[in-house]
Amino acid sequence: MSRNQENSPGQADVIVVGGGNAGFTAAHAAAVRGRSVILLEKGKRDMAGGNSFYTAGATRIVHDGLDDLKGLVESDDRHDRTLVPAYSAEEYAADLAKVTEGRNDPELTEVLISESQSTLRWLNDLGLKYRLMYERQAYERADGSFLFWGGLHVGNVGGGEGLIADHTRVANKLGIDVRYGHAATELIVESGKVVGVVVSTDEGSQEIRSESVVLTAGGFEADANWRREHLGEGWENAKVRGTPYNTGDMIAAALAIGATKGGDWGTCHSVQWDAFTAQNESNRELTNRLTRQSYPLGVIVNTEGKRFLDEGADFRNYTYAKYGKEILKQPGSVAYQIFDASLRPMLREEEYDMPGISVESADTIDELAAKIGIDPQGLATTIDAFNDSIDREKAFDPTVKDGRKAATEPVKSNWAAPLETGPFYAYGVTCGITFTFGGIKSDTHGRVLNGDGAHIGGLYVAGEMLGGLFSTNYPGGTGLAAGCVFGRRAGSLA
C-alpha cells in the first residue's frame, strides 16, 4: 500500500503512536519512502502536539559557527553583529557525559551527535523553519554585538507551537493521516510480531493493522502514581509542565509484550516553575513561559530564607533540568529566586514579564521577606553573607563562566552579583516535571528489544519513550534533537 492510496480506517503500512516532534519526524521519514502512514494523537486537535508544543523549540546540534548555520536558520539583521561559537561533536559528547554522570548510552550518543545537524537540515528541506535563539541564548554586549553561549543556539521559529504547526503542515503535504482523539491502549501481536494497535476513541474501541508500529507516546510524567512509584515520595506533588496525556500507557503496553526497560527510571527532567500562577499545569497559552530560567544571575532561597544550591555552577543549559528536583526537596516544595534592581533588566522577558506572574517586590530585603512570608532577619543574614563573600576583583560577565565567586555556603561559582540596590524582587518557584528518563530499550535504529536483546518484529520507539540517553540531568535542547534523529531513523525502517 503506498501513501498515494487512501488509507482504510483500519489499515496502513505504518502506524505512529504519538503526535509530538519525534512522532511527526518518524511519520515524515516513512511517508517520503512511499509508505502509507497513520499518526495517532491522543489529544483532540486543540490539545495536540505532546510535550513538543510546550517547548521553546531549542534544538542542540553540532555546527562550526554562524557561517555553517546559514541556509538552516532564517536571516536576521543582527547576524552581522553576532558571534556564535562553534559547537563540536567532542563538546557535545563531553556535555552529555558530564551532566548524565557518564550513564548515557555511548552508541545512542554517537548517533545523536553525528546526525544532529543533517537531520535538522532534512526537516528544514521538508518545511520546518529554524532561527537563532537570541532571547534565550545570547546577551547583547556594550558595543551592541551579541554573543551566544552554552552550546545551544538553534530553535524553531515560533517555539514549540511553531514546531508542531510546521510538522502538521508537512504531514498534510505528505498525505499522512493524522487522527486526533485516538488513544492507543494495546499492541496487537501475531506470531511474535507487532501487527497493529488497539485504539480508544469517543466512538469506542477499534483495531488498526499495519506492518510496523512506531511508539513515540512520551514518558509517564503525567501520572502521579507512576511518578511516586519510580521517582520517589514527593514526586506526586510536582507540576506537569507539558501534555497531560503522557501517562505511560504505551510503555506499559510494550512491556506487556516483552519489551525491555531502558534508561534511568529513577530520574527525570524537571525545572524551576512558577509556583503560584493559576493554571500552572499543561497551560497551552503560556507554555514554556512559566519556567524561571534566569536564576544564575541571582540567588535562590527556601522558605526559611536559606540558599541550598550553587546557582552559578554552570550555564543554565547544564543545570536547569536538575534543579527542579532540588526545589521539590525544600519545605513546602517552594523556593524564591531573588534579584535586585540592577539585575532585573537582564531577566528573560518572555518568562519574567509574562501576564499574571508570581512576583513580589519591595524597597528593602526586610520588606520583601515579610511579603513572601520569610523571617526578615533570616533572609537578611543570608543576603548579607552572600554579598560580603563575593570576589569583587573579577568582572561580572554573564556571557562566559566568569569565575566571579561568592565564597559562602553553598558557594556560588560564577556570576555572583551583590544584591544591594532596591527595589528587590522575589519569584516563587516550585518543581515542574518535563519528562521521565526511563523508557523502552532499543538499538540505534529504534528497533525495540526484548529480554534476549532481539528485535521485537514490527515495533520501533523514539522520542521520550526511548530510554538510555539521559540520567540525572540533561543538556538543554537534546530532547528535541534526539526526537528528530531517532524519529527519522525509526521511520526510515518502519
166-197, pLDDT tens digit by residue?
999 999 999 999 999 999 999 999 999 999 99
Please give the C-alpha separations between residue 112 and each of 71, 486, 488, in angstroms, as whole numbers.
21, 8, 11
Q: In this predicted model, what pLDDT tens digit does every residue of 314-330 receive, in sequence order? A: 999 999 999 999 999 99
Residues listed for the chain: 494
14-218+437-493: CATH, from 3.40.190.80, 1.10.220.10, 3.50.50.60, 3.40.50.10320:
3.50.50.60
Residue 9 has pLDDT above 90, yes or no: no
Cα-flanking dihedrals φ and ψ of residue 424, to 5°? -105, 150
Q: In this predicted model, what pLDDT tens digit does every residue of 102-152 receive, in sequence order? A: 999 999 999 999 999 999 999 999 999 999 999 999 999 999 999 999 999
Cα-flanking dihedrals φ and ψ of residue 161, to 5°? -65, -40
**356 grid coordinates:** 499574571
Enumerate the domain spans of the chain. 14-218+437-493, 269-432
Q: Which amino acid is at 458?
A: G
269-432: CATH, from 3.90.700.10, 3.40.50.300, 3.30.70.20, 1.10.3720.10:
3.90.700.10
Decide if 338 contacts 406 (C-beta within 8 A). no
| pLDDT band (50, 70, 90) for residue 7 | low
- Record the pTM: 0.95
**20 grid coordinates:** 509530538
Q: Scanning the structure block, which residue is given the C-alpha cell 507516546? A: 217
Residue 291 per-residue DSSP state: B
**12 grid coordinates:** 496502513
- Count the neighbouring beta carbons within 10 Å of the beta carbon of residue 289: 22
